[in-house]
Amino acid sequence: MAELDLTKLVSHFAQSNKAEAKSPKTVSWYTEMLFDFVKFLRSSGREAILAELNAFSVRDFIIREQNRGLSPYTVQGKVRALKAFSSWLLADGYTSENVLSNIKLPRVPLKIVEPLTPPEIDLLISAQNPLTAIGCRDIAILVTLLDTGLRLSELSGLHLYDAHTEEGYLKIMGKGAKERLVPVGALAQKMLWRYVFHFRPQPATEQDNYLFLTLDGRRLSSNAIRLIFERWGRRAGVPRLHAHLCRHTYATNFLTQQCGDVLRLKLILGHNSLEMVNRYVHFASAQDMIHGRVSSPVDRLGIKMLKGYKIDRILKRISN
């Protein structure tokens, strides 16, 4: 087993992920990250065999990637892929133990990302003509993302028959082929109705019966929406606009506006654990500190000597 070719094992791992119905994007991402490790082994004079997948070589790989100036998120992603691969090797009997169980994920900075503000959203809406097919569609896309927190791929893959706007929810097929229901507010319902009833073209084929379509009735792909947002943001003076920022804005506002607790947010966003949701709690808390009324411990103490501090009256008299 120790002499097995890592390249073949990575390909086997990819086939296993496909059989488990993981998304093509996920399968491709794992494969790319693992082949980076294979290239590292060969470039450092080592054989690309199973025996070289160990804690020592992986730590060397981490240091090499960090020294290359890659972002901490990219490095952490590569280590996640290696750890998933190591777990699979054990489960499929290629190794007698999880050789990377003691490898910890490199830390990444927890940066505070400002959600889209109401003035920025106003600028974006004002830059579109709601009386045109494109303008009405794009406004409906933006409002839907801000009101539901959908991933870009989930929005692009949403079929017309899964949009239960009258009942106030969308049926979403998320990561790992897990279906969930996402509530939709009154304003988003109104924007969706306007688009579907007045501007949505007939699908070009039966397979194109998606909610959001191009002008010729084809599915509006994730890449197309990404480009629309890039151009729209620059034109409206909000160049930081992108689909994931809308998801972040939704999650932050969900908490700051007290629309529900973290468990409800976890279900709506389609996360498997509370790890990512806890990041939004951190962001929301930061927003409260910046924009909300923060209670001061010293103010609450009510220190009498400081309230009637005579030096203030003295300084005022001197300045006059």
The catalytic position among 64, 194, 242, 271 is 271
218 has catalytic annotation: no
Per-residue tokens: 61: 């790989």
What CA–CA distances, in Å, run from 126 to 21, 30, 139, 231, 235? 41, 41, 10, 14, 11
CB atoms within 10 A of CB 100: 21
Residues with Cβ within 8 Å of residue 52, at least 6 apart in sequence: 6, 41, 46
Q: Is residue 236 within 8 Å of 123, Cβ to Cβ?
A: yes
316 has catalytic annotation: no
Q: Is residue 164 within 8 Å of 284, Cβ to Cβ?
A: no
The catalytic position among 175, 180, 226, 242 is 175
Going by C-alpha positions, the residue among 262, 258, 231, 270 that lies closest to residue 149 is: 270
242 has catalytic annotation: no
Residues with Cβ within 8 Å of residue 171, at least 6 apart in sequence: 162, 164, 179, 180, 181, 182
| DSSP-assigned letter for residue 177 | G
The catalytic position among 83, 200, 219, 247 is 247
The catalytic position among 234, 244, 264, 291 is 244
The catalytic position among 78, 83, 137, 151 is 151
164 has catalytic annotation: no
Question: What is the C-alpha separation between 108 and 85, in angstroms, rounded?
Answer: 21
List the beta strands (DSSP E) in the chain. 163-164, 169-173, 179-183
280 has catalytic annotation: yes
Exposed/middle/buried for 109, CB within 10 Å: 0-12, 13-18, 19+?
exposed
| DSSP-assigned letter for residue 160 | G
Q: Annotated catalytic sites, by residue?
A: 151, 175, 244, 247, 271, 280
